[in-house]
Amino acid sequence: MAVTGTLVAESLAPGMLIECGLTLRKLQRITVTSPAPGQPSEWTLIDFSCPDDAVGLFAQQLADAMRAGSWYCDFGSVRTKYVVFSGRVFAYPRGDQAGFDEAVAYARSVGVPEPQLDWPQ
């Protein structure tokens, strides 16, 4: 089984590379009504899946590749939720309120706007 999620292309720092066997599921452009300071108002969303055996590598590559600040990527499997920021990876069992609260507190500390704290548990 694979993990699935959505990555905002604009969250990646220039020159960064992610190589871990992701599968593109959908690509779309959206207008964001509540971007954080420094975020553009139009985003490119990449819906992906990642093989279970590559999740750790993907999470670390993503943490190394993301722009610092208010960007994050969330993805998950049936059992585990991942929320990745620049230099930081949160992984917790789905439904674990303490894990969710820790990731949300960190997101707020780096400036993620409240409307963007909407990742599914």
Q: Mind listing the pLDDT tens digit for each residue in 66-85?
A: 999 999 999 999 999 999 99
The string of pLDDT tens digits covering residues 25-58 is 999 999 998 899 999 999 999 999 999 999 999 9
Q: Is residue 48 part of a domain?
A: yes
Three-class HEC string of the chain: CEEEEEEEHHHECCCCCCCCCCEEEEEEEEECCCCCCCCCCEEEEEEEEEEHHHHHHHHHHHHHHECCCCCCEEEECCCEEEEEECCEEEEEECCCHHHHHHHHHHHHHCCCCHHHCCCCC
Mean model confidence pLDDT for the chain: 94
1: pLDDT strictly greater than 70: no
The number of domains in the chain is 1
pLDDT attached to residue 118: 86
The answer to whether residue 98 is domain-embedded is: yes
Greater confidence, 2 or 82?
82
Q: Which structural domain, as residue segments, surrounds residue 64?
A: 2-111
Query: Does residue 34 fall inside a structural domain?
Result: yes
